[in-house]
């Protein structure tokens, strides 16, 4: 099929074509019931149940495609958005909509573990290698300026930032840098490369973004997709906790489960007892159940939420 001629009038949605964010993005699309079949040789897939085309792009290119209005919606890292904002400036018309709660990591300054450098100030005027040259350039420009102001760095000194597109962590061992700035999640890559982190430049996670430059006709479909994705993300984060409790303890247990908006309270067919249903953050549920038990709640059930609408 001639895909290019099928793109007109479709909402274009950019998704990282591979790498760390890919699998989770596919789950988000499934969660929002966006049906597609991707031919592995193609970077465009037509969505079967909406007038949408998915465009599979490198995560680093997505802010530019969305921010210049070529693509209407996208998923990428907050780090990539921040880098593009510094690179492109005001012309980048992109709005960050939903933190998708995956792809969490930190952009960190790393130096050889056994070397003499312990602080970022010791790197002023030295060589840094990174894939985030604008974010890192901005960070060290500010550090250089502050140190010059404080008389800690000579006026002519300047920290040198060099770009590499991958394998950043090899740069110190190769003798081309005194430090690298790269993403760290588990820290395994960093430690395996004999490096340690001495500073956090930013924390990042995956985010749903939109162009602020879309034609008004696309707006209803954009809102449908954004609402679905928001609902899916909330469903992933929360569980539903149901329990019964005697009225005399209700005030105490409601403090433990105040709910996302408010808990639902239903009268039970047993005098002075009520049933409570409340959304609880998944990560807190074990502690919440312990506290409910200690505060006279009974018949506590935890139910998963498949999907939701805010």
Ligand X SMILES: Nc1ncnc2c1ncn2[C@@H]1O[C@H](COP(=O)(O)OP(=O)(O)OP(=O)(O)O)[C@@H](O)[C@H]1O
Ligand Y SMILES: O=P(O)(O)OC[C@H]1O[C@H](OP(=O)(O)OP(=O)(O)O)[C@H](O)[C@@H]1O
For the chain, what percentages of helix, strand and coil (3-state, to nearest 5) are there? 35, 30, 35
Q: Give the distance, in angstroms, between the CA of residue 5 and the centroid of all CA atoms in the same chain.
A: 33
Which of 24, 126, 189, 242 binds ligand Y (CB under 6 A)? It is 189
Q: How far is the CB of 170 from ligand Y (least distance, A)?
A: 10
Q: How far is the CB of 297 from ligand Y (least distance, A)?
A: 39
Residue nearer to ligand Y on the CB measure, 159 or 204: 204
- The three-class DSSP label of residue 35 is coil
**Residue 187 binding partner per list ligand X, ligand Y, none, with a CB distance cut-off of 5 to 8 Å that depends on partner kind:** ligand Y
Of 15-23, 62-70, 171-179, 242-250: span binding ligand X (CB under 6 A) = 15-23
Q: Is 190 in the site for ligand X (CB under 6 A)?
A: no
Exposed (0-12), middle (13-18) or buried (19+): which is 81, by Cβ within 10 Å? buried
Exposed (0-12), middle (13-18) or buried (19+): which is 305, by Cβ within 10 Å? middle
Pairwise CA distance, residues 57 & 54, whole Å? 9
140-to-153, 179, 217, 220, 239 alpha-carbon distances in Å: 12, 12, 44, 43, 43
Q: Which residue has the tokens 């005399």?
A: 248
Residue nearer to ligand Y on the CB measure, 69 or 112: 112
Pairwise CA distance, residues 199 & 296, whole Å? 47
Which of 108, 171, 193, 204 binds ligand X (CB under 6 A)? It is 204
Residue nearer to ligand X on the CB measure, 89 or 166: 166
**Residue 182 binding partner per list ligand X, ligand Y, none, with a CB distance cut-off of 5 to 8 Å that depends on partner kind:** ligand Y
Q: Is 187 in the site for ligand Y (CB under 6 A)?
A: yes
**Residue 188 binding partner per list ligand X, ligand Y, none, with a CB distance cut-off of 5 to 8 Å that depends on partner kind:** ligand Y
**Residue spans of alpha helices (H) in 20-77:** 22-31, 62-67
Of 73-81, 154-162, 243-251, 266-274: span binding ligand X (CB under 6 A) = 73-81
31-to-4, 62, 210, 254 alpha-carbon distances in Å: 27, 21, 19, 31
The pattern of x and - marking residues 32 through 61 that bind ligand Y according to CB under 6 A reads: ------------------------------
The pattern of x and - marking residues 161 through 180 that bind ligand Y according to CB under 6 A reads: -----x--x-----------
Q: Is 183 in the site for ligand X (CB under 6 A)?
A: yes
> Site for ligand X (CB under 6 A): how many residues?
15
Q: Which residue has the tokens 């130096």?
A: 111
Residues counted in the chain: 310
The pattern of x and - marking residues 130 through 159 that bind ligand X according to CB under 6 A reads: ------------------------------
Q: Is 188 in the site for ligand Y (CB under 6 A)?
A: yes
Three-class secondary structure assignment of 130-189:
ECCHHHHHHHHHHHHHHHHHCCCCCCCCCCEEEECCCCHHHCCCCCCCCEEEEEECCCHH
Q: Is 110 in the site for ligand X (CB under 6 A)?
A: no
Q: Is 103 in the site for ligand X (CB under 6 A)?
A: yes
Residue nearest to ligand X (CB): 77
Contacts to ligand X by CB under 6 A: 18-21, 58-59, 77, 79-80, 103, 105, 166, 183, 185, 204
Contacts to ligand Y by CB under 6 A: 19-20, 166, 169, 182-190
């Amino acid at each position: 099929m001639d895909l290019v001629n099928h793109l007109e009038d479709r909402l274009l949605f950019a998704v990282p074509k591979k790498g760390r964010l890919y699998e989770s993005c596919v789950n988000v699309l499934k969660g929002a019931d966006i049906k597609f079949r991707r031919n592995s040789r193609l970077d465009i897939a037509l969505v079967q149940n909406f007038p949408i085309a998915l465009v599979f792009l490198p995560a680093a290119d997505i802010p530019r495609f969305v921010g210049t209005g070529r693509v209407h919606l996208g998923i990428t890292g907050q780090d990539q958005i921040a880098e593009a904002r510094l690179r492109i400036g005001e012309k980048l018309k992109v709005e960050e909509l939903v933190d998708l709660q995956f792809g969490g990591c930190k952009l960190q300054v790393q130096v050889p573990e056994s070397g003499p450098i312990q602080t970022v100030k010791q790197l002023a005027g030295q060589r840094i290698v990174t894939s985030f040259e604008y974010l890192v350039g901005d960070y060290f420009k500010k550090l250089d300026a502050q140190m010059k102001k404080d008389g800690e760095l000579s006026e002519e000194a300047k920290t040198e930032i060099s770009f590499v597109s991958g394998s950043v962590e090899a740069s110190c061992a190769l003798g081309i840098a005194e430090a690298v700035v790269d993403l760290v999640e588990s820290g395994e890559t960093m430690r395996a490369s004999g490096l340690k982190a001495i500073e956090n430049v930013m924390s990042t996670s995956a985010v749903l973004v939109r162009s602020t430059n879309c034609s008004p006709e696309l707006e209803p479909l954009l809102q449908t997709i954004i609402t679905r994705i928001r609902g899916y993300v909330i469903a992933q984060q929360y569980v539903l906790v149901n329990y019964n409790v005697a009225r005399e303890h209700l005030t105490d247990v409601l403090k433990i489960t105040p709910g996302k908006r408010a808990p639902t309270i239903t009268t039970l067919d047993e005098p002075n007892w009520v049933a409570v249903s409340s959304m609880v953050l998944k990560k807190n549920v074990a502690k919440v159940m312990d506290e409910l038990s200690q505060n006279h709640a009974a018949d506590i059930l935890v139910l998963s939420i498949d999907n939701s609408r805010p």
